[in-house]
């Protein structure tokens, strides 16, 4: 068996550090999941990423600090106002600080994300960012995952202690949500203009999305020079309007991760490729980053995802070890070895599975 020549050429270029074009990425996304070409794509992305990131993994964590019937009304999200079962609630500040300390106490966390609904109270967010900044290690970054905001607000977030922002113009934005794609992109400009790190993702991927849609959406992150690019599949949320469309497999998600890993090869700004939700297939196909989660989660029907879908730091660290990463990068660029001795407690707590 031999690889199809066009795919072979694209992968050979990637091994030399040359990123595929958008149309070439669509071609890679069109490959059959069980084909030799897709297997070669994933293997190439894995090799390229491990070289690129020195075989170091990255741990991130997110606290969902509030819930509400959200006016963004995303048809894939547990909080959309027209279909949600959630009422408005907020984690008390003391509880947020407690969870922030728990996530960061080992010192391995690169960044802690604070997530709100699309509409959020800026003053409360700034207070939380400032207080969290004083409770976690200086080398752990703070990233906001909130609704749209302008350049002035972005500057206030940075002044309070945020180092980055997660923001996405998602697949079929304005069709599967009530949000304006142009406004989402304006927020990208605000993030970059304020000097915040830009965290991006190709999401939420469903079976209906075409290779061309995926390529167009992932290249927005490339265009805006994201620090992190990622792939996230849409999760089946009972009661959500798009639930009937089902979800892609982790194998297909790993294929998208691999394409993103290659598509960002020309970006010096990109330091992380994440797979969400965390899984080993993605970490063997170009991803080097996973998230632990607590509190509200748009893919979960439980008020606190840490008892349901969300993984904790221990599980995420062990997953990165199992994926073969040799170290963990911290938020200041330093790293620690990731070996069996270092992860012994993870094996002890899981019965050495």
Tell me if 332 is assigned to some domain: yes
Q: Report the pLDDT value the prediction gives residue 330, as an integer from 0 to 100.
A: 95
Closest C-alpha among 41, 87, 72, 77 to residue 258: 41
pLDDT exceeds cutoff 50 at 352: no
Top-confidence residue, 84 or 202:
202
Instruction: Specify the DSSP class assigned to residue 87.
Output: P
Tell me if 350 is assigned to some domain: no
Q: Quick one: 348 exposed, middle or buried, by C-beta within 10 A (0-12, 13-18, 19+)?
A: exposed
Of 131-135, 295-299, 347-351, the range with the lowest mean pLDDT is: 347-351
Structural domain including 185 reads 19-344
Note the pLDDT tens digit of each residue in 169-204: 999 999 999 999 999 999 999 999 999 999 999 999
Tell me if 353 is assigned to some domain: no
Kindly state the average pLDDT of the residues 139-159. Answer: 98
Three-class secondary structure of residue 122 per DSSP: helix
Where b means 16+ CB within 10 Å and e means fewer, 75-112 reads bbbbbbbebbebeeebbeeeebbebbebbbeeebbbbb
Note the pLDDT tens digit of each residue in 295-318: 766 665 555 556 666 788 999 999
Q: Which two tokens stand for residue 314?
A: 């221990």
Tell me if 311 is assigned to some domain: yes
Of 62-71, 158-167, 280-289, 321-330, the range with the lowest mean pLDDT is: 62-71
Q: Which two tokens stand for residue 121?
A: 């109270």
For 350, half-sphere exposure in the C-beta direction (CA atoms, 13 angstrom radius) is 15
Give the pLDDT band of residue 87 (cuts 50, 70, 90).
confident
Where b means 16+ CB within 10 Å and e means fewer, 18-33 reads ebbeeebbbbbbebee
Q: Report the pLDDT value the prediction gives residue 308, as an integer from 0 to 100.
A: 60
Residue that is written with structure tokens 């089946």 in the block: 236
Q: Report the pLDDT value the prediction gives residue 353, as an integer from 0 to 100.
A: 37
Q: Report the pLDDT value the prediction gives residue 296, as an integer from 0 to 100.
A: 62
pLDDT exceeds cutoff 80 at 343: no
Kindly state the average pLDDT of the residues 136-148. Answer: 97
Backbone φ/ψ region at 287: left (φ over 0), alpha (ψ -120 to 50), beta: beta
Note the pLDDT tens digit of each residue in 37-49: 999 999 999 999 9
Three-class secondary structure of residue 237 per DSSP: coil
Q: Which two tokens stand for residue 191?
A: 């993030």
Q: Report yes or no: 326 and 351 within 8 Å, Cβ to Cβ.
A: no
Closest C-alpha among 201, 187, 175 to residue 275: 201
Q: Which two tokens stand for residue 167?
A: 């923001």
Rounded to 5, what percent of the chain is helix, strand, coil? Answer: 40, 15, 45
How far, in Å, CA of 164 to CA of 196, rounded?
4
Three-class secondary structure of residue 205 per DSSP: strand
Q: Report yes or no: 56 and 222 within 8 Å, Cβ to Cβ.
A: no
Q: Report the pLDDT value the prediction gives residue 306, as an integer from 0 to 100.
A: 60
Q: E strands within the chain?
A: 56-64, 66-67, 89-90, 109-115, 141-145, 164-166, 197-199, 202-205, 228-233, 272-276, 289-295, 327-329, 335-337
Tell me if 130 is assigned to some domain: yes
Is the pTM value of this prediction over 0.75? yes
Q: Report the pLDDT value the prediction gives residue 153, as an integer from 0 to 100.
A: 98
How far, in Å, CA of 170 to CA of 148, rounded?
13
Closest C-alpha among 112, 88, 119, 111 to residue 98: 112
How far, in Å, CA of 163 to CA of 139, rounded?
11
270 phi, psi to nearest 5 deg? -80, 120
Q: Report the pLDDT value the prediction gives residue 259, as an integer from 0 to 100.
A: 98
Tell me if 167 is assigned to some domain: yes
Of 59-63, 71-75, 127-131, 230-234, the range with the lowest mean pLDDT is: 71-75
Tell me if 1 is assigned to some domain: no
Q: What is the mean pLDDT of the chain?
A: 92
pLDDT exceeds cutoff 70 at 351: no
| CATH classification of the domain holding 220 | 3.20.20.70
pLDDT exceeds cutoff 80 at 244: yes
Number of CB atoms found within 10 A of residue 233's CB:
24
Q: Report yes or no: 332 and 345 within 8 Å, Cβ to Cβ.
A: no
Report the number of distinct structural domains present in the chain: 1
Kindly state the average pLDDT of the residues 10-25. Answer: 98
């Amino acid at each position: 068996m031999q690889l199809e020549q066009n795919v072979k050429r694209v992968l050979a270029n990637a091994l030399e550090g040359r990123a595929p074009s958008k149309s070439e990425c669509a071609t890679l996304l069109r490959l059959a999941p069980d084909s030799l070409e897709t297997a070669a794509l994933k293997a190439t992305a894995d090799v390229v990423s491990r070289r690129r990131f020195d075989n170091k993994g990255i741990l991130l964590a997110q606290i969902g600090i509030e819930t509400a019937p959200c006016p963004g009304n995303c048809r894939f999200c547990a909080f959309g106002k027209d279909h949600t079962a959630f009422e408005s609630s907020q984690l008390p500040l003391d509880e947020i600080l407690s969870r922030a300390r728990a996530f960061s106490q080992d010192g391995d966390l690169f960044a802690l994300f604070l997530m709100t609904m699309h509409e959020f109270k800026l003053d409360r967010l700034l207070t939380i960012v400032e207080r969290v900044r004083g409770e976690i290690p200086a080398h752990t970054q703070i990233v906001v995952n909130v609704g749209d905001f302008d350049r002035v607000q972005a500057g206030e977030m940075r002044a309070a202690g945020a180092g980055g922002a997660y923001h996405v113009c998602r697949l079929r934005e304005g069709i599967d949500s009530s949000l304006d794609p142009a406004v989402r992109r304006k927020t990208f400009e605000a993030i970059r203009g304020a000097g915040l790190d830009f965290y991006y993702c190709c999401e939420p991927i469903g079976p209906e999305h075409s290779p061309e849609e995926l390529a167009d959406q992932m290249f927005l992150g490339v265009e805006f020079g994201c620090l992190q690019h990622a792939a996230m599949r849409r999760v089946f949320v009972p009661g959500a309007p798009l639930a009937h469309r089902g979800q892609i497999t982790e194998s297909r998600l790993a294929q998208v991760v691999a394409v993103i890993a290659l598509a960002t090869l020309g970006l010096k700004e990109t330091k992380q490729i994440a797979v969400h939700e965390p899984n080993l297939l993605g970490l063997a196909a170009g991803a080097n980053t996973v998230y632990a989660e607590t509190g509200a989660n748009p893919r979960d029907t439980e008020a606190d995802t840490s008892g349901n879908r969300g993984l904790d730091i221990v599980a995420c660290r062990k997953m990165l070890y199992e994926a073969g990463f040799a170290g963990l990068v911290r938020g200041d660029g330093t790293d620690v070895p990731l070996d069996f001795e270092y992860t012994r407690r993870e094996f002890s707590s899981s019965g050495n599975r």
